Amino acid sequence: MSGEVPSRSPWLRRVLSGPRPEAVPALVARACTLVGLLDIAAGVFPRFRNSRMHAIAEVLPGALGPFAAALSLSAGVLLLLLAHGLRRRKRRAWRAAVVLLPAGAIAQFTYRHSLVGILISLALLAPLLRHRDEFRALPDPRSRWYALANFVVMGAGSIFLGLVIVSVHTTRLVGDPSLSDRLEHVLYGLFGFEGPVDYTGNTSWTVGFSLGALGLLTAITTIYLAFRPEHPAAQLTEDDEARLRALLEKHGGRDSLGHFALRRDKAVVFSPSGKAAVTYRVVHGVMLASGDPIGDVEAWPGAIERFMDEAKAHSWTPAVMGCSETGAEVWTRETGLDALELGDEAVVDVADFSLAGRAMRNVRQMVKRIERAGYETRVRRARDLGEGELDRIRRAAEDWRGTDTERGFSMALGRIGDAADGDCLIATAHKADAEPGSYGDLKAVLHFVPWGPDGASLDLMRRDRSADPGMNELLIVAALQAAPRFGIQHVSLNFAMFRSALARGEKIGAGPVLRAWRGLLVFLSRWFQIESLYKFNAKFRPRWEPRFVVYASSRDLPRLGLAAMQAEGFVNLALPRLLRRRSAGGRPCVHRMAEQQEMQVV
């Protein structure tokens, strides 16, 4: 047997070497969360303070002086708030923790002369100082809405904790106060006043200071968020838009979603050479790009690297919605991210489109029936319409929207008739002998954006609810038939999520797993119209182009899905429709995936 010392196992090496630097923020965040919860428990539950955990509760940061319960609550809530920022490596959270923890240690020494209390604070402070370079993330874009959200969340949490505090002192209660009395006592206490509930001994002081601390903490955090410098929402500057239009002029034919990069509520990063760009929006810490990068394919890696650097600088989670197969390959190769097929885009080649044949019988019959009913269609460039007619179309499109809020991000432009979008196509349906309405004889509108010099991509579909069914089929057919007149050779229609699963799942011989997956999609179609969009697109016999979502980790998918739904408008946190201000830059348009109210499936 040789005298060599056997090498240590990888697990043992990891234990002896300590945590990796990149894992420190998560560990510190967990420690702050644990101590924060213990602080809150020590401040809320008197039995906790008198239990076997008493020795620990007495030396937690904040559990000191004559106002121990109130200070413990405050410290616990602040530590819980800081834990999220520390996990995301936020520099401001690190600064706040570095200030809070020594202050707690000094207070422990000053008021209690507690060595253990000092050690708890310093045990958390040490890794923060040692690994300070790990906490470099910049603040997120924000607005005054964060102050309102903080007030609502903190207020609700304070009321809940207050009810617990008022109710746990059962042996010290005077009388038998009702739930409404306790709630009234909490509300008074949050503002620093005495309520109708009374206790024996010094419990009234403990409860009063605890409720006052919660109210003061809610007020201070809300005031801070309301008056701190506001970061502007993501938006394209005029220079950014001009540079993007120049890239689309040269390379816009590569991706049907390219023109949607010109949405003015997106931000953009350019490659070092300026020959490629990635547009994105940040939604709750998710840096969400859409479609492929704009510009020269050879310059894509530079733009993607800038995108990832920006995500790292702010500790955002990078993700891409709706990129092509080529785009997914480049993203995964350059970043190490993963890709998942999201669905298919329906693309119709104009030269191959015809209403003849058995496969097109349903569409052909519907179009002829509507034409016999007296409807006529017009397909024109946006630049060829007068301002009066454009304004009428804008107002009609907004009024005919099927949802209270606008939807759209990855496949919607966000405006109609802007002076810079003269190449867009607008298809309209009219019925001259109909009873005049608010918009004259206008009954339906389709809006297409350019897809390079010889293509068009569907942006918006709206119709008057009183019009005959089939308006969308009529206008799509009219646009496809008029396309050669504008030099358009291919038209991108709606995006069909999970199309391949729906198509394969309904075939003979499909396995039980595939059938179950299709059944779930059909069930979800009651709310998201997944199946009806697929069937609507299939009417026009398109070719299907796969689209992908690119993500960092499978555990990020739920968060990414929520961020995407909010960006697309399915989850809305905006003001009610009647209270929103109209912007001068054009009104947002509905996302092509969200036109469920417009689909008439034959």
Residue-wise pLDDT for 473-508, tens only, equals 999 999 999 999 999 999 999 788 777 777 777 766
DSSP E strand stretches across 284-352:
286-290, 294-295, 317-323, 338-349
Residue 217's nearest CA partner among 56, 39, 92, 87 is: 39
Q: How many whole angstroms separate alpha carbon 577 and alpha carbon 399?
A: 11
Q: How many whole angstroms separate alpha carbon 576 and alpha carbon 582?
A: 12
Query: Given pLDDT bands bounded at 50, 70 and 90, which one contains residue 579?
Result: very low
**pLDDT value of residue 592:** 43
Q: How many whole angstroms separate alpha carbon 281 and alpha carbon 497?
A: 21
**pLDDT value of residue 16:** 39
Higher pLDDT, 363 or 228: 363
The CA-to-CA distance between both ends of the chain, in Å, stands at 81
Region 68-97 average pLDDT: 72
| Maximum separation of any 2 CA atoms in the chain, in Å | 102
Of the candidate ranges 158-172, 286-300, 380-394, 466-480, the one whose mean pLDDT is the lowest: 158-172
Q: How many whole angstroms separate alpha carbon 348 and alpha carbon 345?
A: 10
Region 428-448 average pLDDT: 81
Sign, CA dihedral 248-253-254-260, equals positive
Q: With 0-12 CB in 10 A as exposed, 13-18 as middle and 19+ as buried, what is 300? A: buried
Region 533-540 average pLDDT: 85
CB atoms within 10 A of CB 232: 9
The one-letter code for the residue type at 408 is G
**pLDDT value of residue 569:** 67
Residue 258's nearest CA partner among 240, 286, 278 is: 278
Region 159-186 average pLDDT: 80
Q: How many whole angstroms separate alpha carbon 40 and alpha carbon 160?
A: 13
Region 54-72 average pLDDT: 50
**pLDDT value of residue 585:** 37
Residue 286's nearest CA partner among 567, 560, 553, 568 is: 560
Higher pLDDT, 525 or 436: 525
What average pLDDT is seen over the chain? 76
**pLDDT value of residue 379:** 94
Q: Structure tokens of 427?
A: 């298809």
**pLDDT value of residue 117:** 59
Q: How many whole angstroms separate alpha carbon 571 and alpha carbon 521?
A: 19
Q: How many whole angstroms separate alpha carbon 120 and alpha carbon 38?
A: 12
Higher pLDDT, 58 or 157: 157
Asked if residue 317 lies in contact with residue 311, where contact means CB atoms within 8 angstroms, the answer is yes
What are the CA-CA distances from residue 198 to residues 158, 169, 234, 378, 526 (Å)? 20, 11, 52, 76, 53
Q: How many whole angstroms separate alpha carbon 82 and alpha carbon 95?
A: 10
User: DSSP characters for 121-174?
Assistant: HHHHHHHHHHTGGG--BPPPP--THHHHHHHHHHHHHHHHHHHHHHHH-GGGBS
- Residues above pLDDT 90, as percent of the chain: 26
Query: Given pLDDT bands bounded at 50, 70 and 90, which one contains residue 43?
Result: low
Q: 């906790």: which residue's tokens?
A: 48
**pLDDT value of residue 31:** 72
Instruction: Read off the DSSP letter of residue 382.
Output: G
Q: Structure tokens of 287?
A: 């840096």
**pLDDT value of residue 138:** 67
3-state SS class at 566? helix
In sequence order, what are the beta bridge partners of 295? 276
Asked if residue 346 lies in contact with residue 480, where contact means CB atoms within 8 angstroms, the answer is no
Higher pLDDT, 95 or 588: 95
Residue 143 has pLDDT above 90, yes or no: no
Q: Structure tokens of 79?
A: 């530590």
Three-state SS string over 313-330 comes to HHCCEEEEEEECHHHHHH
**pLDDT value of residue 251:** 93
**pLDDT value of residue 481:** 94
Residue 64 has pLDDT above 60, yes or no: no
Of the candidate ranges 83-92, 179-188, 507-516, the one whose mean pLDDT is the lowest: 507-516
Region 86-101 average pLDDT: 76
Q: 């646009």: which residue's tokens?
A: 479
What are the CA-CA distances from residue 589 to residues 55, 360, 428, 440, 457 (Å)? 61, 30, 16, 22, 14
Asked if residue 424 lies in contact with residue 382, where contact means CB atoms within 8 angstroms, the answer is yes
- What element of type H or E holds 429? strand 425-431
**pLDDT value of residue 405:** 56
**pLDDT value of residue 13:** 42
Residue 521 has pLDDT above 80, yes or no: no
Count of positions (residues) in the chain: 602
**pLDDT value of residue 584:** 34
**pLDDT value of residue 492:** 93
Question: Over the stretch 326-365, which tens digit does the pLDDT of each residue have?
Answer: 999 999 999 989 999 888 899 999 999 999 988 899 899 9
**pLDDT value of residue 41:** 64
Q: How many whole angstroms separate alpha carbon 430 and alpha carbon 396?
A: 13
Of the candidate ranges 209-213, 280-284, 302-306, 382-386, the one whose mean pLDDT is the lowest: 209-213
**pLDDT value of residue 589:** 36
User: DSSP characters for 36-69?
Assistant: HHHHHHHHH-HHHHTSTTHHHHTTSTT--STTHH
Q: How many whole angstroms separate alpha carbon 520 and alpha carbon 343?
A: 15
Higher pLDDT, 567 or 14: 567
Query: Given pLDDT bands bounded at 50, 70 and 90, which one contains residue 578?
Result: very low
Higher pLDDT, 37 or 417: 417
DSSP E strand stretches across 469-511:
490-497
Region 4-20 average pLDDT: 42
Asked if residue 275 lies in contact with residue 296, where contact means CB atoms within 8 angstroms, the answer is yes
Q: Structure tokens of 552?
A: 């960092």
Query: Given pLDDT bands bounded at 50, 70 and 90, which one contains residue 406?
Result: low
Q: 């049907």: which residue's tokens?
A: 256
- Residues above pLDDT 70, as percent of the chain: 72
Higher pLDDT, 519 or 583: 519
Question: Over the stretch 190-221, which tens digit does the pLDDT of each residue have?
Answer: 877 778 887 777 677 677 777 777 777 777 77
